[in-house]
Amino acid sequence: MSAAQATTPLLAVRGVRAAYGKIEALKGVDVEINAGEIVALIGANGAGKSTLMMTIFGRPRARAGTIEYDGHDITGVPTHEIARLRIAQSPEGRRIFPRMSVAENLQMGADATECTEAEREAGLDRVFALFPRLKERVAQRGGTLSGGEQQMLAIGRALMSRPRLLMLDEPSLGLAPLIARQIFDAIRTLNRQDGLTVLIVEQNANHALKLAHRGYVMVNGLITLAGTGAELLQRPEIRAAYLEGGRRG
């Protein structure tokens, strides 16, 4: 689905400010994501990308501005209630439960929202179809998986909550190129086959912008550029900063 097919954004971030103590990380951010889009957020390390994603999910709280999801203001909604609205996050660093099995980790994702046994089984089928390796290791402890397998598990856990909006923070970080390509292929499949809306923060700007319908560039807590993925890939300042040996983040 393209941006033109959506009249009201699924997610609208307007003038959002957020801080850690006295350090302001977001300085008035505006971002829109339409239903069915993949939107990439790129920028240097420390630009505020992860903070924006966490602020959407309720931690830290926005100090100013509004966050609207599906036409409703969720700026002050607690994190656990945001999850029940079928917004899911796969955080940077994966943060799986290392002592739990693959099956138990996936069940934790299903527990984030109310779902029937049939929906849980359908969710497992979906995850195992995307990531067959997880099915092979379903009884294995999460902490014994490879880095790529842990990333698959983190995304799979998020998918078990049946999200309408999936937020991915650095999904390819630390992965071998072949495994990273599998992760990006899975994201593309989810979007094309299921119409899943995706916000992706990604240090690999080249892959992210090729994957995305649209993208935003963040610098020092502000959005400085926006456009289609293809448009941003062609901009000389983007190529110099993120694609030709410059900053990545």
- pLDDT for 174 equals 85
**CA 223 to CA 30: how far, in whole Å?**
7
**How many residues are recorded in the chain?**
249
pLDDT for position 244: 60
* d(C-alpha 18, C-alpha 26), whole Å: 5
Are 6 and 36 spatial neighbours (Cβ–Cβ below 8 Å)? Answer: yes
Q: Report helix, strand or coil for 162.
A: coil
Which domains, and CATH codes, for the chain? 1-86+164-180+195-249 (3.40.50.300)
Residue partners of 14: CB distance under 8 A and separation at least 6 = 30, 65, 66, 67, 68
Q: Is the peptide bond before 91 cis (omega within 30 degrees of 0)?
A: no
d(CA 31, CA 199): 10
**pLDDT tens, 174-188?**
888 899 999 999 999
pTM of the model: 0.90
pLDDT tens, residue order, the chain (249 aa): 444 444 789 999 999 999 998 899 999 999 999 999 999 999 988 899 999 999 999 989 999 999 999 999 999 999 989 989 999 999 887 789 899 999 999 998 888 777 788 988 999 999 999 999 999 999 999 999 999 999 999 999 999 999 999 999 999 888 888 999 999 999 999 999 999 999 999 888 899 999 999 999 999 999 999 999 999 999 998 988 887 654 433
What gap in Å lies between CA 211 and CA 171, rounded to an integer?
13
Report pLDDT for 50.
93
